[in-house]
A and B are shown apart, each in its own frame.
Chain A
Amino acid sequence: EVQLLESGGGLVQPGGSLRLSCAASGFTLSTYAMNWVRQAPGKGLEWVSAISGYRSETYFAESVRGRFTVSRDNYRSTLFLEMNSLKAEDTAIYFCARSAMIAGVPAHVDHWGQGTLVSVS
């Protein structure tokens, strides 16, 4: 069974940093692209970042580019989101999410974690 378990959320001051982790199990992390998706309180879903499988190419939303980095440790089956220069508008639940792979291309999200709350205040 695929499981994604996020951790590392918490309260941080504006300008601060935080590192989120996502422990993956039930599949081989290196063969899937992975995403971070966030949801501000009472708001919709916002795609934040993705990292491809083998080559670890990274992609970011404009709202976080230059402040967030995404990485993975395939040996430990863990995905990371390093968040710097945090702003109040980064306050959200952050979901780790796996992309289905279609002919080696990242596609829709087929599994989600339960999320971890980041509060910037």
Chain B
Amino acid sequence: DIQMTQSPFSLSASVGDRVTITCRASQSIRGWLAWYQQKPGKAPKLLIYKAASLESGVPSRFSGSGSGTDFTLTISSLQPDDFATYYCQQYNTYPYTFGQGTKLEI
């Protein structure tokens, strides 16, 4: 199975900050990576797919990059609504594994 490792595990930041979360795959997944945002008590929400494609309706302050084994999610200017937990997921090979999550706190 492909292991997905996110860092950091948690992150404290302020409104207006630029934030970067990283995700590393245990083997190449080419560009088949998605990022999701989850708030407490809610289902996850798709932000980014194919490493860098922004899902429709997602604010442009979110961006993704990377290929192969190393990927990043960047939020250019944090807004109050962005404080949540973020997950990466590879969909190169079943099982489609998730990273362990990054909790973004105020």
Q: Which residues of A contact B (CB under 8 A)?
A: 35, 37, 44-47, 50, 59-62, 95, 99-100, 102, 106-110, 112-115
| Docked-complex contact A112 and B95, CB < 8 angstroms | no
B46 at the interface (CB under 8 A from A): yes
| Docked-complex contact B43 and A44, CB < 8 angstroms | no
| Docked-complex contact A109 and B32, CB < 8 angstroms | no
Residues of A within 8 A of B44 (CB): 45, 95, 109, 112
Instruction: Report B38-81 CB contacts with A as 1/0, cut-off 8 Å.
Output: 10000111100110000100000000000000000000000000
Known A61-B95, A62-B1: A107·B49 in contact at CB below 8 Å: yes
| Docked-complex contact A109 and B1, CB < 8 angstroms | no
A95 to B41, CA, bound (A): 12
Known A62-B1, A113-B43: A108·B91 in contact at CB below 8 Å: yes
Question: Nearest chain B CB to A114's CB is how many angstroms away?
Answer: 6
Question: Nearest chain A CB to B34's CB is how many angstroms away?
Answer: 4
Question: Nearest chain B CB to A57's CB is how many angstroms away?
Answer: 9
| Docked-complex contact A107 and B87, CB < 8 angstroms | no
| Docked-complex contact B43 and A95, CB < 8 angstroms | yes
Among B36, B89, B91, residue most surrounded by chain A Cβ atoms (within 10 Å): B91
A44 to B87, CA, bound (A): 8
Residues of A within 8 A of B7 (CB): none
Residues of B within 8 A of A109 (CB): 34, 36, 44, 46, 89
Question: Nearest chain A CB to B3's CB is how many angstroms away?
Answer: 12
User: What are 7 sample pairs from A and B whose C-beta atoms fall under 8 A apart?
Assistant: A37-B98, A62-B1, A107-B32, A108-B46, A109-B46, A110-B46, A113-B43
CB-contact partner of B98 in A46, A59, A106, A115, under 8 A = A46
Q: Considering the complex, which residues of chain B in the window 79-106 have a beta carbon less than 8 Å from any beta carbon of chain A? A: 85, 87, 89, 91, 94-101
Residues of B within 8 A of A95 (CB): 43-44
| Docked-complex contact B98 and A47, CB < 8 angstroms | yes
Question: Nearest chain B CB to A95's CB is how many angstroms away?
Answer: 6
Excluding A107-B32, A107-B34, 20 further A-B contacts by CB distance (< 8 Å) are A35-B96, A44-B85, A44-B99, A44-B100, A44-B101, A45-B44, A45-B98, A47-B89, A47-B95, A47-B96, A50-B96, A59-B95, A61-B95, A106-B91, A107-B50, A108-B34, A109-B44, A109-B46, A110-B55, A112-B45
